Structure 1
Amino acid sequence: MTLGPFADALTASDWFAFLGVLVAAILGVLVAVWGQWVARRAANVERFDAALAGVIVALGKRATELDEWASPAEVAVVGSLGMRATRDARFGDAGGPVDIELQTAVEAAWLVAPGRKDRECMDALSAAVYNFKEGTVQWQIDSLARLAADIRAWRTGTLSPNHFRYGMETWSGAAFGVGARAKESAVEILGPAASKSDKAQQ
């Protein structure tokens, strides 16, 4: 099939003009599609960062919960040696109250992670948060702010995804190490009954 008389009527300049309009139209469509992709990507990143901001807030709340849990209401009797001993023991214990709010915030952020590397980082963060309670209460309180700083450094580009994942693995290892040393100290001070009591709680 040919354009026939229509093609014969077109001059070379007409063809160049037609091709120019066609190329411009195609480029316009490509730019529009690219612009939509960029806008959608930016919106996804913004939503992810907002979710991670929620995780940082949850980390702060967790530190407060741990401090309140380890400081019983009866601590008003400040002069009581027995109460002081109870306070110190709870700060030195591993665990603490349940951390459902924090874990839920991390899982919610995972769901809106925009890319594969982001999800891998969230997997590492989720594992670190889960393992955090293996450390003593005092260690957790002291370390939660630094964990939040690591999240901020990752999202601002100061910490690469690979370094962030390695850092989360390091946090998990540190938690287990601190918890193990605390249990060993308890056995040394209280004798075998401490380890038996710990197993009974598990």
Structure 2
Amino acid sequence: VTLGMLNVAFALTHIYSEEQTVSNLPGPLTALGETFPLGRTDITYGSLVTIALFLLFAYALSSTGWGRHVYALGNSAEAARLNGIRTSRLTVGVYTVAGLLYGVAALLLISRTGVGDPQAGQTDNLDSITAVVLGGTSLFGGRGSVLGTFIGVLIVGVFRNGLQLMGVASIYQTLITGVLVILAVTVDQISRKKAR
């Protein structure tokens, strides 16, 4: 369903935009891309929003009942249900929060580039999965942390930036990122088998 919806949204974006990049966006859409000085560095407001979201969800997942329920649901939905957690309601809630965060991420991307590009972000889902897995989150559920994900994001960002500075073509960057995901998932699978 997720992959199907990805294709539907991707196609609708191209149909609606007529495959044209939209420029001259209104100020509120690009406001988070504006900067303010901090010492000798210019910081974007979008960076502050991103850090605030990391801190908020680090707290929510580690220090609230909701966060413990999310981990329990990820580890075993049936065990969570048997322990009295309303798993269907929690699942809808998690997907709703995720959808909201995807919207914020899209707004941050538009703010950074200053245009609405229907081709933008095609490989960002792969980068996201890579960052999460490199940060120690298990794709099989029940294990991970926001701090680990933050470190994974930094690794992927530095890695991608390094490849761009070296002049590596974007298709090879995607290839290398895909190999990283496979290696990270393999390590995760091996560590889970050893833990049993």
Question: What is the TM-score normalised by the length of structure 1?
Answer: 0.37
Considering fraction of residues, name the structure with more helix: 1
Higher strand share: 2
- TM-score where L is the length of structure 2: 0.37
Larger radius of gyration: 1
